Amino acid sequence: MQKFPLLLGRLRIVCLSFAMLGLAFGSYASSHREAPLISNDPLADNTDVYAFKSPDDPNTITILANYIPFESPEGGPNYYNFGERIRYEIHIKNKATTGGDDITYRFTFTKTNEDPSTFFNIRLGKQNLKTSYVCEKSVNGGPFTAIVQNGIVPAYNIGPRSIDTPGLGLGKSYDMLIAEAIATATSGEKVFCGPADDPFFVDLAGAFDVGNFRPEGNSVNKPKDGLARYNVHTIALKIPVNMLQKDGKSVGQAANILDGDFVIGVWASASRQKITTLYNGGDVGFDGEWVQVSRLGMPLTNEAVIPIGMKDRWNAVTPYNGNDLQFAKYFTNPELALYMDDSQFGGAVPSLKALRIQSKSLGSFDFRNGKPGLFGLKGNAALDGTALAEAAFGGVLLPDNASPRAVDLLPIFYTGVPNLKPYQLATGKAGNPLAAGKPFINNFLPTLGDMLRLNMAVPATPRNDPNFSSLGLVGAAVLGLTNSTYTNINMQFIPNMDGFPNGRRLEDDVTTIELQAVGGVVLAAIGLWYDDYTPNVSPSPVTPMLGNVLGFTAGVTKNDTTLKASFPYVQTPWRGFNYSKAVKF
């Protein structure tokens, strides 16, 4: 008699699960609570992805995928941790000719209660919800093989008594626990999984008050880092370049610092099984195929580009097989551009007044939403030998006469930028944006999907370099246009060529960079100058409008704490007891 109600209960759960999947086709997101459905599943929510040349090891790349937004250090008694029955994955592309991942790292976590008789998380040398993990690796679509077994996740940094006596009682600082949790995989990678300070920084309150950033904040209304003193859970990998390069080559074998064979694409995801079944006694079962419930590649894509009605759908798909082309229109005519255009809503958001998109660049090119941009040149012989030619990528970059930002924003997010005309610095172009200029980027991997792209041949900028800039490639472009050391047409390393959007360093101010990019700074860098530049009148293209753009910030320009000099580079998680970093006790 008990079987029929149980069967009926299972059926109801199955039907409910399918109904939810049907309503939420693509309830899958990234970043900090930016999509409706993933905001209810924080353990599976990507917050950020980073990929950069390891600053202390030029032969390795560090990739970090962060999950679980807004972890309060005081969030007990059930502290934050990776979820069970979730597949956390880091996806890597190194070939444009294949249809899916070329390398995949998969992490699954298991929790154990060592002392169920206490309400404390840690007591007398025992830890509840103690978490371990298995890391598996797949190459070229092959089977997954475990490369780390029984990996250690450090306990949450609750406070001094929990970490020492009468808690774990190990006589170790929290930083020592982090060091002991760094594993070396059987295949050679270094791996860390655990809590950390959230390295992302942004004025969230200003951003979502219709772009009301506070770059000129005062004592009453100053910018506030909405993620200050919050933690996340980090999955970190330090991987030799030759493991990531498609032919197994080391950095020393690169033809030059912009060798296109050294480009990788990186994104991260989390997946759950489709069906949850509730059994008698409160037991829970999980069945069915795994479904992606979160993804993230480029920062702020789903948060600040994809509209709210499409956010859940965006997370339903991978960036492969042309899936992301359905969202291309949000890049070719981005919503934020409306607030940088006085003919639209430019006057409604005074904080963005420094950003005004070119409407008559070089006297004729209009890049405001719905305008033709460079489309008037389509098919012109002047485009021969450039990336805009029909024989090259003109069909994507110049699709119609009303998609002006297909020429700059779309490749940044969907293909990477090639070292081809016109995507070279205006240095050496003699006023012709279509001419050859100074090379400064090549992270071209034309998969037509959102992922973080990094050219691994580019050297790391030392963090103590006086020219190190959190503006990444924008900072490199400024040096290449104005600093006499770099104002030549030769290929050479310019500090910050390893910065966003060529990968993403922990220090990079991606919010400011992306707002500047929407405001047309990339167009200006390649010679499509702002409206107040007149060749016969202005001696320099560094006009007041360009100066305004370069001087603009999103208000919060750096993390609220320091970064570590060695792997995993993210800082020790904030501690609940006195809201400070861990110290040795």
Say whether 59 sits in a helix, a strand or coil.
Answer: coil
Residue 18: pLDDT band (50, 70, 90) is very low
Using the Cα atoms of residue 17, residue 20, residue 22 and residue 26 in order, give the sign of their dihedral. negative
Q: In b/e form, how buried is each residue of 426-440, taking b as 16+ CB within 10 angstroms?
A: bbbbeeebbbebbbb
CA dist 456 to 98, 425, 487, Å?
20, 20, 24
Question: pLDDT tens digits for 487-517?
Answer: 999 999 999 999 999 999 999 999 999 999 9
* Residue 411, both tokens: 């490749």
Q: Residues 6 or more apart from 368 whose CB is under 8 A from it?
A: 337, 341, 343, 344, 357, 359, 404
Alpha helix ranges (H) inside 419-536? 472-482, 510-518, 521-525
Distance (Å, rounded) from C-alpha 371 to C-alpha 375? 9
* Per-residue confidence (pLDDT) for residue 576, from 0 to 100: 87
Cβ contacts of 544 within 8 Å, gap of 6 or more: 532
Q: Residue 9 — pLDDT band, cuts 50, 70, 90? A: very low
106: its two tokens: 């998969």
- Would you tell me the crossing angle of helices 472-482 and 510-518 to the nearest 10 degrees? 60
Q: Which of 8-22, 358-372, 381-395, 525-539 has the lowest mean pLDDT?
A: 8-22
Please give the single-letter amino acid code of residue 68: I
Question: 182-186, 295-299, 308-312, 353-357 — which is least confidently predicted?
Answer: 308-312
Confidence of residue 208 (pLDDT cuts 50, 70, 90): confident
The beta strands (E) that lie in 398-463 are given as 452-455
CA 190 – CA 243 distance, rounded (Å)? 12
Q: Is 451 left (phi over 0), alpha (psi -120 to 50) or beta?
A: beta
Distances (CA, A) of 276 to 8, 195, 263, 436: 14, 28, 40, 58
CA distances to 160, 162, 163, 164, 365 from 124, in Å: 13, 9, 10, 9, 70
Residue 293 has phi, psi (to 5 degrees) of -120, 0
Do residues 90 and 268 make contact, with C-beta atoms less than 8 angstroms apart? yes
What proportion of the chain, given as a percentage, has pLDDT over 70? 90
Token readout for 318 is 């991978």
Find residue 66's DSSP bridge partners: 48, 234
3-class secondary structure per residue, 413-433: HHCCCCCCCCCCECCCCCCCC
**Do residues 225 and 556 touch, judged by C-beta distance below 8 A?**
yes
- Given a contact cutoff of 8 angstroms between Cβ atoms, the answer to whether 509 and 64 are in contact is no
Residue 13 tokens, joined:
């759960």
Residue 472 region, left (φ>0) first, then alpha (ψ -120 to 50), else beta? Answer: left
526-576, pLDDT tens digit by residue?
999 999 998 877 778 889 999 999 999 999 999 999 999 999 999 999 998
* pLDDT, average across residues 320-335: 95
**How do residues 369-392 score in pLDDT, each as one tens digit?**
999 999 999 999 999 999 999 999
pTM, to two decimals: 0.91
Q: What is the pLDDT of residues 73-129, one digit of tens each?
A: 998 888 999 999 999 999 999 999 999 999 999 999 999 999 999 999 999 999 999
Condensed to tens digits (0 to 9), the pLDDT of residues 165-193 reads 899 999 999 999 999 999 999 999 999 99
Backbone angles phi, psi at 408, to 5 degrees: -130, -50
* Mean predicted confidence (pLDDT) in 237-263: 98
Contacts of 393 by beta carbon, 8 Å cutoff, 6+ apart? 387, 415, 446
How far apart are alpha carbons 506 and 52 in whole angstroms? 8
Structure tokens at 506: 């922990």
Of the candidates 49, 75, 46, 351, the residue with the CA atom closest to the CA atom of residue 205: 351
- Look at the block and give the residue holding tokens 């309060």: 72
Q: What is the DSSP letter of 183?
A: E
